[in-house]
Amino acid sequence: MIPLLSLDGVSRIYRQRRGLLGRGVPLRAVDDISLSVAPGLTLGVVGESGCGKSTTGRLALGLETPDSGRVTFRGAVMPPPDGAEWRSQRRHLQLVPQDPLGALDRRLTVAAQIAEPLLIHGIGNRGEREDRLAALLNDVGLRADQAARYPHELSGGQRQRAVLARALATSPALLVCDEPVSALDVSIQAQVINMLTDLQAARGIAMIFISHDLKVVRQVSHEVAVMYLGRVVEQGDPDAIFADPLHPYARALVSAIPVPGPRRLPRIVLSGDPPNPADRPAGCAFHPRCSLATAQCRVEEPGLIARADGRRVACHRADELARASA
C-alpha cells in the first residue's frame, strides 16, 4: 500500500548551549528515523521522556524541517513552514496536543475555537459551518451548552474532546496525537481512547499515536515503533512486540506493564542513568543500561534489521534472544 506519510532517514539536531560562553553541543533529538503511516491505520510511537517521540510527531506534521532526510505526505515533500502552501496543507494534518488547556485560547468560547479551522480555510458558508460545528460536537460527545463555555469552565476530559473536535473540523487525513490522554485520569482516558478509535474507524483517518503508556498504544495501534535516544530500536506488529519483545529495551518496557495475576516474564528493572541525548554512548546507545551487553555492543552501533516475521530490531543479540524465547 502507498503510505500516506513517510519519514525517510529523518534527523533533527538541536544545538544546546552549555553555560554563558559555552559552545553549542549538537543534540540529536531524532536520529535517522524511517517510518511510514498507511491511510486509516495507526502507528504507535513509544519510549521514555526525551527519546524524541514528540519531535518525531512535529517532523511528521511538518511543523519542523528535518536537518537531513525527508518527510513526504501523499508522495510530495513537505513545504517549508509558514508559507502559503504549508498553511493550506494544515487542513490535512492535525495535532491533538498533550495539554488541551494550554492549546485553547482562554478568551474564546470552545464552540468558536472548534469552528475556527473552518473559518481559517474558508470552508462552507455561515449555515454550513454551524451544521458542521453541531456535527463535530456530537461526534466528540460535547453538548451545545458545554461548547458555549470558556475552556477553564470545562473538565480535563471535555477540554480534550474540544481539542479533538477542533482537530477533526477540517476532516484531516492524518492526526498526530501527542500523549493525548496522559493528563487525564484512567476512566476518562478509556472514554477518549474509545472515541478516538471509533472516529478513526468511521472516517478512515491515519494516526500517529505518541505515548509512554504501553497499554494504550497496544490498544490503538496497527504498528508500533519503540524509540530510544532518538532512534527506533524495535518496530513491527503490536501483538508480536508486546507478546514477545526482542530488543532488551522493549523487553524492559513491556515487563513494566502491570498485569493481573502472575507474570509470564520477570520484571526487568533498568539500571544506570537515564540517557542524555547530548552525550550518546558509543556503540549501541542502550549498552550502559543493558544486562546483555557484550564487547561488540560497546563499539558497534546495531542497524535496524528486518527479521523473518516482518519485525525490525536494532540489536546485535536479536537472533540469540529470538532463539532463546522460542
Partner 1 sequence: MSGTVLPARAGRSAPPALVIAALVWITMILLIAVFADQLRPFGITALDLKARLLPPLGFGGTAQHLLGTDELGRDVLSRLIVSIRISLVIAFGATAIAAVLGTTLGFLAAHFRGWVEQVVLMLIDFQASMPFLILALAVLAFFGNSLPLFVTLMGLYGWERHARIARGLAIAANAQGYAAAIRQLGARPSRIYLRHVLPNIAATLIVAATLSFPEVVLLESGLSFLGLGVQPPMTSLGNMVGYGREYLTRAPWILLAPSAVIVLTTLCVSLLGDWLRDRLDPTLS
Site residues (CB under 8 A) for partner 1? 61, 63, 82, 86-91, 94-95, 97, 102-108, 116-117, 120-121, 150, 152, 166
DSSP structure string for 121-159: TT-S-HHHHHHHHHHHHHHHT--HHHHTS-GGGS-HHHH
As a whole number of angstroms, the distance between CA 171 and CA 3 comes to 18
Supply the minimum distance, in Å, between the C-beta of residue 91 and partner 1: 6
Mapping DSSP to helix (H, G, I), strand (E, B) and coil, where does residue 222 land? coil
Q: Which residue, 91 or 222, is less far from partner 1 as judged by CB? A: 91
Q: Which amino acid is at 73?
A: F
Q: Which residue, 63 or 268, is less far from partner 1 as judged by CB? A: 63
As a whole number of angstroms, the distance between CA 121 and CA 128 comes to 14
As given in the structure block, the three cell numbers for residue 8 are 525517510
Supply the minimum distance, in Å, between the C-beta of residue 252 and partner 1: 31
The residues facing 95 across adjacent strands are: 176
Q: Which residue, 61 or 181, is less far from partner 1 as judged by CB? A: 61
Q: Which residue, 110 or 181, is less far from partner 1 as judged by CB? A: 110
Residues comprising the chain, all counted: 326
Rg (CA), the chain: 21
Q: Which residue, 105 or 309, is less far from partner 1 as judged by CB? A: 105
Supply the minimum distance, in Å, between the C-beta of residue 97 and partner 1: 7
As given in the structure block, the three cell numbers for residue 3 are 503510505
Q: Which residue, 77 or 108, is less far from partner 1 as judged by CB? A: 108
Supply the minimum distance, in Å, between the C-beta of residue 268 and partner 1: 35
As a whole number of angstroms, the distance between CA 44 and CA 238 comes to 9
Q: Which residue, 62 or 275, is less far from partner 1 as judged by CB? A: 62
Supply the minimum distance, in Å, between the C-beta of residue 46 and partner 1: 23
DSSP-based helix, strand, coil % in the chain, nearest 5? 40, 20, 40
Supply the minimum distance, in Å, between the C-beta of residue 299 and partner 1: 40
As a whole number of angstroms, the distance between CA 317 and CA 301 comes to 12
Supply the minimum distance, in Å, between the C-beta of residue 146 and partner 1: 15
As a whole number of angstroms, the distance between CA 132 and CA 129 comes to 5
